[in-house]
Amino acid sequence: MGQDSSSNDRGLSVNNLILVLVVQDNSEDHSIFQIIKLAQLLRLDARVAILAAAGWYSYFHWMFDVLPRIHLLQKSNLLSKVDKFVVNPLASDFQKETLEKLGIPVEQCLESNPNFHIQATHLIVPSLPGITGSMTHWACDFLRETFLNSATDQSSDKGDQSERLYISRAFAARRRVLNEDAVIDLLSKFGFTVLTMEKLTVLEQAAVMATAEVVISVHGAALTNLVFCSPGCKVIEIFAPHYVNPCYRALCNLMNLDYWYLLGEGELISPRFEGDHLMINGEADITIDIAALHQTLNQLGLRQVQTHPN
């Protein structure tokens, strides 16, 4: 267990351009160079903006890589001039909800695919907000201004929101907690409410996180919503002993949250391991040491809630 203490706003418009975006360390490895023949060209007499980005299917990458590009269009006074938006496949409700909130109807979107090949009269390509997998302060501010105010307005009449939250991955296909019943049994004594974010809209997720005093979760995309937490909120992120990813620690630093972490049970990575420490067995399920979790709760100064017998 442990604790961590710790734009240029512009748009680009060009005429008669067929664009291939290559954003990776080894550009020669890009899949575009493995294609013998490009798909049939679709010519569009329109202003087309590129929003698509890698990792689009993940809530984290959609919120921190795709949506901030819309903010750059807003700041450049170009958003209202766009006729069509190139987006990744709109496979999830959160994608459609967030685009609608930002004034972009699904009917205005062109969904990319492996055979996507267009030529536009005007192509507008806002920069990516930063290195993929990271986040910037201005992008966090944009997400809070866009979703948090509306979420707070919608939840103002609700008085039953818990301030201590445990985010479950019970419906996830990977990185689940094998002894979650025991975890929930302990956390219930401290007044925690169990949430599964898949059942909530983005605005609902923002609203419940804004009121949180403590958030506990295994590493996963739901922790993207830490961007909506209030300063001083305590966060315990749980990792498999062989998979540690610092992205949410960085987010907590940006948001002035009190970040803690806890390693699950299992064999640690050998000091002699020479592979990718971030990606080794990142899909593995996790067993949580209940005693270590209890100790961490005590270190945070949390006390068990009082129960009154009938």
Domain extent listing, the chain? 7-130, 150-299
DSSP type of residue 57: T
pLDDT at position 4, please? 52
pTM above 0.85, yes or no: no
CA dist 200 and 206 (Å) reads 10
293 neighbors 184 (Cβ within 8 angstroms): no
Task: Give the per-residue pLDDT at 277.
Answer: 62
What are the tens digits of pLDDT across the range 163-222?
A: 999 999 998 888 899 999 999 999 999 999 999 998 899 999 999 999 999 999 999 999
Cα–Cα distance measured from residue 22 to residue 166, given in angstroms and rounded to the nearest whole number? 39
Considering the segment(s) 150-299 as one domain, its CATH architecture is 3-Layer(aba) Sandwich (3.40)
Beta-strand pair 13-17/118-124 = antiparallel
According to the model, what pLDDT value does residue 115 have? Answer: 84
> Stretch 106-121: mean pLDDT, rounded?
90
